[in-house]
Each structure stands twice: as C-alpha cells, then as structure tokens.
Amino acid sequence: MNAPARIAVDTKKLNDALARFPRDRAMSIAGRAVGGDGEMIERSSPAHGVVVTRIPRGRAEDARAAIAAARLAFDNGPWPRETASNRARLLLKTADLIDRDRELIAILDTLESGKPLAQARGEIEGAADIWRYAASLARELSGESYANLGADRLGVVLREPIGVVSIITPWNFPFLIVSQKLPFALAAGCTCVVKPSEMTSASTLHLMNLLAEAGLPEGVCNVVTGYGPEVGAPLTADPEVDMISFTGSTRVGRAAVAAGAATLKKVSMELGGKNPQLIFPDADMDAALDAATFGAYFNAGECCNAGSRLLLHSSIADEFIEGLAARARSVKVGDPLDADTRVGAIITSDHLGKIEDHVTAAERDGAQVRAGGGRLESSGFFMAPTIVDKVTAAMAIARAEVFGPVVVTLSFDTREEAIALANATDYGLSASVWSRDVDTAIGVGRGVRAGTIWVNTFMDGTPELPFGGYRQSGVGRELGRNAVKDYTEEKTFHVHTGPRTSWWLPRGA
Ligand code: NAD
C-alpha cells in the first residue's frame, strides 16, 4: 500500500476533542494565573489547520517575576525544608492526577504537536511512571559520612537542593520531557520556572493545575509562556537562577550554556542526535527491519533519539533497503486522532520545507530516494516516510539532524568501519547494534561514542536507566538513580572533636 495521495482529517473527531478544553490559557506565576500584557500566541493543529490553543506572549518581565517567585519560595518557603516523605507524597498524588487526566493531556499534546493520539496516551502513561520513580528517589536521597578520618575528625557530606532551576523544553514530547526534569527537581527540594515550547505549552500549563491540586505551595513551580529569545533567554542569564535544565536543539543549548556561564550556573543539556542503527548479517532481520522502521518514523522522525542513520553490512544492504522501503510505503500516515495512525503531522509548514530541502540537497549530492521524498497533499503538514540511499559519510545529510521521517543508509564491510562510520558525526546520543554474536554486539557497542547503546532493540527506555548524550548531544544525564542528585549541591561538614592541635605553638609545648 502506498501513502494516500491526499491525507484527510475527520472534522467530527476534531470538534469532539476541541470540546474538551478551553482554548485560552494563562501563565502561572506565584500561584496566580497571569495573562502577560494581553498579547496571545495562537497555535494551530499542524494536522488540521485550525487554531486549538492560545497562550500569553510572555515578556522578560514575566520571566523575572517568575524567577523572583521561585527565589522567594526557595529562600523562605517550606518546600526546600519539607521532609522527603511529604515531597514523595505530593509527587505520587501528582502521578495519580496525571493518570486521571491522561486522555485530556494526550489530546492537548496531539492537537498542538500533530503526534498520533494513541502514541500520546502512551507518553502520558510513561510520564506518570516517571513521577512515581522520582517519588521513590526522593526518599533515597542521602549524603555520605566518614568515620575513618581519625579519632578527632568526622566527615559528613550533605546533599542540599541546588536552588532555583530554569527548565526549558521543546515541542516534540511536551509532557514527557517536562516530566523527565520537574519531578526530580521537586524531589530534591528545588523551586522552578518552566518554559515550554511556544508551540506546545498547553499540557505543561495543565500540569500546573495538577500540582496546585496536589498541594504544591505557591511559587515552587511557575510556568512562563512565549518565544525563546523573549522569555527563555532571561531564564538562562538571570543571576538568581542556579541551574538550567534544557532540552532542545544543540544550537539553542549552546546559547543557553553561554548565557549561564556569566554566573557559572550548573547546566544539564539534552540536545540533538543523528543516531545510527548498525545492522550485521547475523541479525534477526525481521526484528531489525521492524525496529529500523520504528526508529525512522516514530513521532514522524521528530525525535532526538530517531534512528536516522542506518549502517548496513554490504552483504545485506540491498535486501534490507527493499524490506524497509516496503514498510515505509505501508506505514499509516494520517489524522493523528485516528486510532491506527502511526505517523502524524510535521510541526510546522516551515519545518516541513526544511526537511524537504535536506532531501533535495542529498539528491543533488548523488544520493538516491528509495521511498517517499516529499510532502503529502493535505490541509495540514504531512511528509511521506522517506529513505535516502547511496549516502556517503561526507554528505551533509549523513551528519545533519533532519528531524523528520527521513532515514539515510550507508554501508560497511568490517566492524572497525562500522564503528568509524557510527562516530562520524558531532553527536553521540544513542545507537543500536543488531547482531546475535556477543563479540560483535558488545565490541561494537563499546566502540561507539554515545550515551545509550541498544542491543537488538531500539528506543527502549525506562526511568531506571540514565539518558543523555556524548559530545554535542548534551551535558549530563537525566533519569537513572542519580536523577535527583543532579539537582543538589554537596555540602561538606568537617567536624573536629577533642582538644585542638595548635598551629603556632611548637608540638608538645
Ligand atoms: P529549540 O532549541 O528550538 O527550542 C527548545 C526550547 O528553547 C523552546 O522552548 C524554545 O522556545 C527555547 N528557546 C529558543 N531560543 C531560546 C533562547 N535564546 N534562550 C532560551 N531558550 C530558548 O528546539 P525545538 O525545535 O523545540 O526541539 C527540537 C530539538 O530538540 C531537536 O534538536 C532535538 O534533537 C532536541 N531534543 C533533544 C532531546 C534529548 O533528550 N536529547 C529530546 C527532545 C528534543
């Protein structure tokens, strides 16, 4: 089955979804709904071409007010001094409220981002699980003690919340990504200002309602909405902010680190990727083909973790690409509100144009399109699942993050060549190795410089396992057992007991 010539959307389903929530939203600062100066940013569903939400266009003064509220709540409020058990209870209650509102949150993310509703539901369920994991870590947070420093010395290392955290998130997984940061910052006792993407703010604003319902004190978490340079930039530069936790593009991440450097803020950066899937001839080919299709087209390829580079052993390359092309042509692209849609809409018309430009440039460089290649006719923005073959490591498309449903294929003959190709980008977020041979799987996995290596699977995740990138894919790790510690400072207590040995009197005097 080829992708349909025209993508149709179901107006009844859209109207039913729109009936579930008010169009207009407000920022949340110090527990109050704030409209900014009254100017609103409209967000249209990229699948339906209809305005679905309106958020305030926040300004620098709104960002400053939110930082001041978070500062006050940190310096004088109860949250940083709260017991771990009470913090954990609030996180667990929030998780229950997320479960209660799962359908609404999923609809908000779907309408604003264009992702399939069935997928969004899974993301919200996963997000609730992360809030529960953070609650478990809240009660585990502890420091260290040293009783082995001599009879008159005792060392105790405390973990204290780092302070005010700016949390800046992108549009591709709006609710999931804020849930990879906020519950851990709150578990540590920090206070926060969150800035969601201007295109997908609704689910984060809804989360604020849930936190208030769960009993979070005013000012502990604040949300400002608007454009990056206007409200994001002040959150990275303000001297009252102690840490920046950012997920987004490498370009903006670099600017955020530079802005934070003036006051030496701690940074946690989750940035772009160009992730290779390495397929060896002894792999389970059906499983590898399924994962290659999923890796390339999940979330329409708008995924930091997308498996956007297929590195194929030359002995299986042709057959593999044929199998992949058949799947690319049959994967269901369509209305995100349809239950069986696998690939939804592209975030904006502008971004769709950029994806097409990458493909056209690759063809000019000598690559060959084996499936898809461009947009599908629709009232929204849809792109056909695309394969670009005959790519070499020197081509721009082999290195750039396309961030669309486009996978490139390259081939190799030896393990060493495979590792070198895998490492031939500035990124290092994730990779997968497909082989039944343990030497190949482990040996190649150890050679690839990336934060996550999957073996015979792709894009699996669980809160217990840390996630983050090597090189220009990021700084630091999220999730995993250290996720709460990341939002803390260490304080050393060095205690002396008994008589002091004098510094200036001779020994024995
Ligand atoms: P983006 O960098 O354009 O925007 C991210 C956020 O930063 C948005 O909220 C934006 O408004 C804000 N922003 C923009 N300019 C700013 C500035 N000067 N100062 C402070 N904030 C500013 O990214 P995007 O287009 O929203 O998302 C796509 C990118 O995110 C891709 O590169 C993708 O790989 C990356 N991403 C990474 C991960 C990961 O975990 N590694 C996860 C998801 C997305």
Write out pLDDT tens, residues 110-143. Answer: 999 999 999 999 999 999 999 999 999 999 999 9
pLDDT at 459: 94
Beta strands per DSSP E along 58-182: 144-146, 153-161, 164-168
Residue 302's nearest CA partner among 416, 190, 112, 173 is 173
Q: Is the domain covering 276-455 a CATH 3.40.309.10 domain?
A: yes
E strand or H helix at 54: strand 51-56
Distance from residue 247's CA to the centre of ligand 1 (Å): 5
Q: Report pLDDT for 508.
A: 65
Indicate the domain borders of the chain.
Answer: 24-39+53-271, 276-455
Question: Best of 43, 59, 172, 402 to mutate for ligand 1, by most ligand atoms within 8 A of CB?
Answer: 172
- Residue with the two structure tokens 């461009």: 374
**Residue 255 CB–ligand 1 contact under 6 Å:** yes
Is 29 in a helix, a strand, or coil? Answer: strand
Among candidate residues 179, 176, 196, 198, the one with its CA nearest the CA of residue 187 = 179
CATH topology for 24-39+53-271 is: Aldehyde Dehydrogenase; Chain A, domain 1 (3.40.605)
CA of 127 to the centre of ligand 1 (A): 19
pLDDT of residue 36: 73
How much is the pTM?
Answer: 0.97
Q: Mark the ranges of the chain whose per-residue pLDDT is less than 70.
A: 1-5, 507-509
Closest CA to 32 of 249, 230, 184, 212: 212
What is the best residue among 109, 247, 265, 429 to mutate for testing ligand 1's pocket, by most ligand atoms within 8 Å of CB?
A: 247
Determine the pLDDT at residue 1: 44
> In this predicted structure, what is the pLDDT of residue 37?
84
In the DSSP assignment, the letter for residue 48 is T
pLDDT in tens, 216-268: 999 999 999 999 999 999 999 999 999 999 999 999 999 999 999 999 999 99
Per-residue model confidence (pLDDT) at position 502? 87
Predicted confidence (pLDDT) per residue in 59-88, tens digit: 999 999 999 999 999 999 999 999 999 999
- Is there an atom of ligand 1 within 6 Å of 348 CB? no
Distance (angstroms) between ligand 1 centre and the Cα of 499 equals 57
Residues with catalytic function: 270, 304
Longest dimension (CA), the chain: 96
Distance 473 CA to ligand 1 centre (A): 12
pLDDT for residue 4: 57
Q: What angle do CA 477, 182, 79 make, to 5 degrees?
A: 120
Tokens of 362: 């690759």
